[in-house]
Structure 1
Amino acid sequence: MDYKVLLLDDERILLQGLANKIALMDLPLRIIGEAGDGEEGLAYMELEMPDIVITDIRMPEMDGLAFIARVRSLRKPIQCVIISGYDDLEYARQASHLGVRHYLHKPVDHAELQSVLTDIVLQLRRGDSSHAR
C-alpha cells in the first residue's frame, strides 16, 4: 500500500526537487499533488486525502501554519512535515502546538528527508495495523 503525499511550496523548483528526492526513496509513497500555497493545497485535499503533507511555512495566500491548522480541523490523522528557510523559534513553537514533529531546513537534505519519511511510514504502518483504512 502506498501512502499519499501532498507537497506545498511557493517555489516550483523546490517542489520538483522534493518530488524527485521522494521518487528516489525506496518507500511506499505516492505524490498526489504539488501546490504553491495553502489555498491550492486545500483544493487537493478535497480531491484526495493525503496521509502525509510536506509544507513550506511562508507562502502567499495561506501559509503553511494556517494550512496545517485547517488540516487539523478535519480531524484526520495526517502527518505533517514543515520545511523552511527560516530558523525562527516562533515558527517551530507554533508548529509544535499544531502537533508537527518534523521541521526541516532548506535546502532539504536527502538523507534527513528520507529519515523523517521512513519514521512517518513506520508510524502509519503501526496505525494501519490497529484499524482499517
Structure 2
Amino acid sequence: MNYATFHPDGTLNQRLIKGMHEIPKGAVEVDEALWLRLIRENDGIWSIDADGKITKQLLPSAPQTREDVERLRLAAYAEPVVGSDRYFAEASRMQVMGEAGWEAVRDAGIARFNEIQTRYPWPEDQFAQ
C-alpha cells in the first residue's frame, strides 16, 4: 500500500510505502497508477484539493531567467526518488564503507545529473554578453 502526505498548502510533502515507512495520521492512500505517476513525473507540482483530488500543475517548459533554471535544477537534483543527489550520497557511503560497486552508482548519478541539466538548459541570453 502506498501513501502520500501533503503540506498545509496542499502541495505534496512525502511519498510513503507501508512496511517501509511509518504512515502518519492524515496520509492519503494512493492507487498503483497514481503512485507510479507521483514517483516518475517530476515536471510539475503535485497537490491535493479540498475534495481529496490529487492533481499535477505543470512547471513552465521554458524558464525565462537563470534563477528559474537554477531553482528547477536544484529541486530536481535533490528529489529523493529520481534526483541525482541520492546516487552521489549512496556512492560516497559505499566508498567510505569499502563496499564494491560504488563507481556504478556514481556513474548513475552523473548520468541523472546530466539528464537534469539537459531538461533545464540555461537561457540562451545568459551567454550572449
- The answer to whether TM tops 0.5 is no
TM-score (norm 2): 0.22
TM-score (norm 1): 0.22
Which structure has more relative contact order (CA 8 Å, sep 6+)? It is: 1
- Which of these two proteins has the greater Rg computed from alpha carbons? 2
